[in-house]
Structure 1
Amino acid sequence: MKLKTICAAALSAMFLAAPALADGMISIHDAYARFMPGGMAGAAFMEIRNDGAEDDRLVDVRSPIAKRVELHTHVAGNDGVMQMMHVPEGFEVPAAGSHVLARGGDHVMFMGLVERPRDGQTIPLTLVFEKAGEITIDVPVDNAR
């Protein structure tokens, strides 16, 4: 009888804590990375969802696979050619909304690869948010996407 009571109490505690965990929750969806053939660079893309009541901001990224990992975006230069540039202030993820990192737009950039990930492998990536803190994910390499 005592084991049954302990299990019931543990389950109750988990369910009661769930709403607090959901408030301000950041989740990552459809993450993948691509690497240029024979190159020393690559990029990661994903959807970042904020199910919380407050805006948050992705402010930094880290991964052991590259010497530099930065948040980047594409902007049109004076000549109309798209150029990538570092976004040191990061990307806002609005409350009850999302921010998409996609090809041709905002993305995670890997520069100076320490190792060259192959198609089908996963790479560790730590996303750093102002409020949610650090979230580490395994990102699949999908060069065909």
Structure 2
Amino acid sequence: MNLQSQVIAPARPALCPRWALGLCPYGHHCHLDHPNNLDPTLPKEIDYKVSNELGEACTRCLQAAIKCDKQGRDSGSDDPCSECRWFGGATCNCTLSMTSSYNDALWRGMMGRRDSDFDLAQPRDKQAAFSNGRVPAPMPDDRLKSN
């Protein structure tokens, strides 16, 4: 008979949403998790310049953290940015996001990566298939504005 020991690790407490912002009123007495690498008092190793302006990019470009050229085009989805035009496919709806900025999107992405110490995700290959097997494709011509 083979007996295997089983290591039971205690569950990590939930992440304190105020810690990284420097707003937790309980400090080290808080019952929520305060990861060291999100400590707002640590010196910054790299100072990233990320825009916090709304309406600079479409949702697809915000989520991928890539430059969007939608500004200056018609506001409708029939005049998409270059990224959506060539990789958005038939269901893409390219409009400027008026509720989220690059900073907001990167923050949400980092806060969802607890297992990798809240780092930024590596850029994804634009041609790679999605987890559901769908391959990025251009938007169909019938969904585009005619010149």
**Which TM-score band applies after superposition, normalised by the shorter structure?**
under 0.3
Greater relative contact order structure (CA < 8 Å, 6+ sep): 1
Considering fraction of residues, name the structure with more strand: 1
Considering fraction of residues, name the structure with more helix: 2
